Structure 1
Amino acid sequence: MLVLQNELMGDLLSFSEVIEEVENAMIAYEKQEVIVPLRMHIEKGKNTMICMPAWGDHYFANKLVNVFPANRDKNLPVNIGALVLNDAETGEALALMNASKITALRTGALGAIGIKYLTPSDTSSFGLIGCGVMGLHLAAMTCTVRKISTVHYLHRSESGAARLTAFMQSYFPEVAIEASYSSEELLGKTNAVIAATPSPVPVLPDDSRLLKGKCFISIGSFKPSMQELPDEVFKLAGRLFMDSEDARVEPGDCINPVKKGILKETDLLTIGKLITKEASVDVQQTTAYKSAGMAVYDLFVAQAMYERAVQSNKGTQVAF
């Protein structure tokens, strides 16, 4: 078995290659070429263990990811776990990977794909709410799909601001990183906002005057009790794009607008349909996208990493 550590994994694929693999996964999902069961959640207190299997043509994978919110105060990743990649023909375990890095990379790509398909091509800035590990990768991936000059972030802590600034300077030193001290201030500076928080309540004001004509992407919510975007976003957008059909029954950002009668079930569409051109959208109007994550994205990124590692003789081989 090949063991791929966190530091190595970040160097195996470029941001563009990760985004390409996630788009390939979206197309395969739309064509029903992969098997992706509904993931299993086990909760104890505020902590959650999630089991995420997916089966493709040549490989299958299972990611066990643990979400421990208190890790933020311990200087540990909130999302932590492992992914096992297997040969789809023999069942042989081929690789063991750090699930935190896989999750961060594919989540960053999922957010960037939202920006790519739901904003005008000349978008030059965006707002970021949440400067954790996911937020850092979302910022970098977004700068990969758009020529971004400024990242506006909601300032919550000096440590978060420092992490974001250092991370972005290492990849995009030409991009300005600017703080906003309220969500109202943030909305006044940009027409695209990405939220990556575990907040149970909306992180933006429910005010159409501040929200109209902008793009909103929710990344952080993954339970029915969580909703990052305010109801007014869904009213203005009239539709909500999702990264999978499973999202209909998982995060509050998908469940609540339908439950409240703001949107109909038919108003929820997978963003993959924009890639395959089965659907279209007016990016000059208010747009909304909810990414809840799905195991097929982990699978496609993991298999590409594994193949690159084998080709370049990277990683550590261990007897299993």
Structure 2
Amino acid sequence: MFRLAHISDIHLGPLPDLSYRELASKRITGYVNWKRNRKHLLNPGVTEALMAGLAQVDADHIAVTGDLVNLALDAEIELAREWLTAVGTPDDVSVVPGNHDAYVPGALAKSCRAWRPWITGEKTGVGLSEYGFPYLRVRGNVALIGVSSARATGPFMALGHFGASQAARLGHLLRIAEQRGLFRVVMIHHPPVRGATSAHKRLYGIGLFQRTVRRHGVELVLHGHTHLPTLHHIPARDGPAPVVGVTSASQGIGGKKPAAQFNLFEIDGRPGAWSLGLMRKGVAGATLALREIERTELLAPLQPAAK
């Protein structure tokens, strides 16, 4: 059995000091939002408690689906690299970026360069974007495929993008993983599901993403972005594929959205007979003690027909 942990939207804080030059961009709106709202809702102490609990569950691998930072300042990007080093080695942790990691033009390149060890896959013969996506990593009988929906957008926008070139490459990687008999997990920041978030935060290319998995198949899709513990299904070649979101890893107690959680998946079986269980665990109470929120069986192997 392979145990895969999933966290997202860490939004490491607090914000470092900003120069006037750094504020002369979209960052001014994000800075104001941080001061008025986010710094009261997102709590580094909560993240520490959540990660301490995650360290106790003995996961085989950790998937991080974006938004490690807030305004993609150079100091934030470096802090995130140090944080990833503390979370686990590049062999044990895989990352895809989110819209906050690409907050302004040029930021995504800096983020991917700093976090390169955690977003480098194996050589497959499939081309990569200039930032290294999509990539394929194999751990045990699981294929982790990292897709980037991150891009810089205008003020008050948090849109994602999934285009034709990445779709073609993703299709190739899904096929390669299938040929190797692997359980395929796609990681992306924005939910590839219609209606999962508001119009100014949605993913452009949802239809293209869904057509790709409908053609090639996928066993599990992980995302962040919404700060919600969601479960959707999208059409895939072999039947509906679960699409699982998670709360922000820094969300404090008492806000409108659930406090910080992580997902833990138990993957077992073989092609055509996979099993997939989901357990959600999160912080609770004044002591931020970790508790189990939910257990769900997402995939069960087909049972032989009765004679």
- The normalised TM-score by structure 2 is 0.30
- The normalised TM-score by structure 1 is 0.29
Greater helix fraction, Structure 1 or Structure 2: 1
